[in-house]
Amino acid sequence: MPHPVDVHVGHVIRTTRRARALTQQMLAAQVGVKFQQIQKYETGANRVSASRLWEIAQVLDVSPSHFFETYDPDARKGDTKTP
């Protein structure tokens, strides 16, 4: 089961890539991976290493922190029941 942070980062990669009008193939070529790897990052199936996230950020022209700016760790608290 993918970690929520990995899913969130993948979602931000996907939305940012689409906003830049890049295909998965185009991003993959610029980062130096296969497009299937980009698919796995975007779904959260594979974690993105810090160095790879840095490369993706460079291609997408954003800071690495961009991928975490909208992450809300408290949003998961709704999953647990409180008395």
- Encode pLDDT of 13-57 as tens digits: 999 999 999 999 999 999 999 999 999 999 999 999 999 999 999
Look up the pTM and report it: 0.86
Total of domains in the chain: 1
Contacts 24+ apart (CB under 8 A), 12-15: 12/66, 12/67, 12/70, 13/38, 13/41, 13/42, 13/48, 13/56, 13/60, 13/67, 14/42
pLDDT at 80: 42
Average pLDDT of 71-81? 64
User: In terms of residue numbers, what domain contains 54?
Assistant: 4-66
In a domain, 74, yes or no: no
pLDDT band at 72 (very low <50, low <70, confident <90, very high): confident
Report the CATH number that the domain containing residue 32 is assigned in CATH: 1.10.260.40
pLDDT at 1: 85
